[in-house]
Structure 1
């Protein structure tokens, strides 16, 4: 009996060692940086909320959150493309769809890898899976990508540039005021969004290819309609 217990003991030790080895080990410099980020974020938000104007602005942050939500943009774009069947808009619709998908995938992958906890409870009903984590800010990356998209890639009239800039800045600040993210999360999101816009510019799909793509997607419905007419 004693021999069996002694034989079983190494297996238990190996199991404990394996469990300890599976834990994520955060390097000390990175741990200190993240801790400093938390402290600076708290101080920054507390300082901002001393101003009445910013406290009143915070009441609009929830609307800003939804105005840059990935689900809202994707469903809105698909509905717009379906109901507004205009060949002149196919180029922007297809490229914008690709940009939104790339943004969602990149942010989800980075969040799944880093798994940094959010600074507060997240009450977003669409926040599932990797989106429950904090780094990077998906709203900041999406707003940054859309800013470059509509000012440089598919440039809107300059009349719309100031509202776009104000919207982008407001989205970034609102992520902190709502205490959804830390400062590093937002900064990383902005950099990722600018990089995504650069990639979209390199792989930009022209109007002819975009129209063919839209027609290819809607072929099934068109073919069915033709069959019924015949």
Structure 2
């Protein structure tokens, strides 16, 4: 015959075991769709006001990014539209833009078209360089992705700030609006595309709100640099002629 004390201990043990298993299940469920790396947001009143303000803004950035990451995985609240959002995200990737630009450059029917495509290709390369430099300097950790995908496997980006998709979307949108698009309806589509590409990075929990916001501002300013450094077709022909003359002179000397 068991004593009352033994029954109490056994009941407490079963309750604690059930509670531990419940907490374990909750952690597993939350970790299956977690996409934010832990950040140290502890604030002490002894810290400088600048540090406190920075940590407060960082907390807002993390909270808002978490609220927008509704397509982070299939189990998320909007996980059903994840394939569509990924398609929008892919439209802002650098690979299709470079392939399309080079193809149009080689198949261009007029000198003006080839000149525009040449500068767009140079703008894309400039964007890749500047984004890589800023990411290497800032080194902000990217939110942890829930599942590896083709592009994220072969083109791994360890750092998050700024968003390369956002810089590219803003740069290409401003470039198209200034050089190729005249109709109001097409201009609206270009601006809408840039906004959707930037939003897709937040919906998929790829990056934080500040990454996308700074990326849009950076890409918008990059076009001003491209416009100042615009390469004309006459300049390209002159450079080609200079290179050809140097080769001919070397051949004659030899």
Q: TM-score, normalised by structure 1?
A: 0.69
Unpaired runs of at least 5, structure 2: 1-50, 72-77, 245-254
SS of 2:153's partner is coil
> Which of 86, 101, 121 is equivalent to 2:125?
101
2:39 matched residue in structure 1: none
**Per-residue deviation, 1:133:** 1.2
Greater Cα offset, 197-206 or 71-80: 71-80
1:125 matched residue in structure 2: 153
> Which has the larger Rg?
2
Counterpart Cα distance in 1 of 2:144 and 2:64: 15
**Per-residue deviation, 1:204:** 1.7
> Which of 81, 84, 87 is equivalent to 2:111?
87
**Per-residue deviation, 1:85:** 5.7
**Per-residue deviation, 1:96:** 0.3
Unpaired runs of at least 5, structure 1: 1-26, 48-53, 221-230
Counterpart Cα distance in 1 of 2:195 and 2:102: 26
Kept after mapping to 2: 8 A contact 1:58/1:174: no
Higher helix share: 1
Counterpart Cα distance in 1 of 2:219 and 2:134: 13
The 1:204–1:90 alpha-carbon spacing in structure 2 relative to 1, beyond 3 Å, is same
Greater Cα offset, 189-198 or 34-43: 34-43
In the TM superposition, 1:42-121 aligns within 5 A as 42-46=66-70, 58-84=82-108, 86-121=110-145
RMSD, aligned CA: 2.9
Counterpart Cα distance in 1 of 2:119 and 2:70: 40
**Per-residue deviation, 1:98:** 1.3
The 1:33–1:134 alpha-carbon spacing in structure 2 relative to 1, beyond 3 Å, is same
| Matching of residue 183 in structure 1 with residue 209 in structure 2 | yes
Q: TM-score, normalised by structure 2?
A: 0.63
For these two proteins, the number of residue pairs brought into alignment is 185
**Per-residue deviation, 1:56:** 5.9
> Which of 143, 165, 181 is equivalent to 1:156?
181
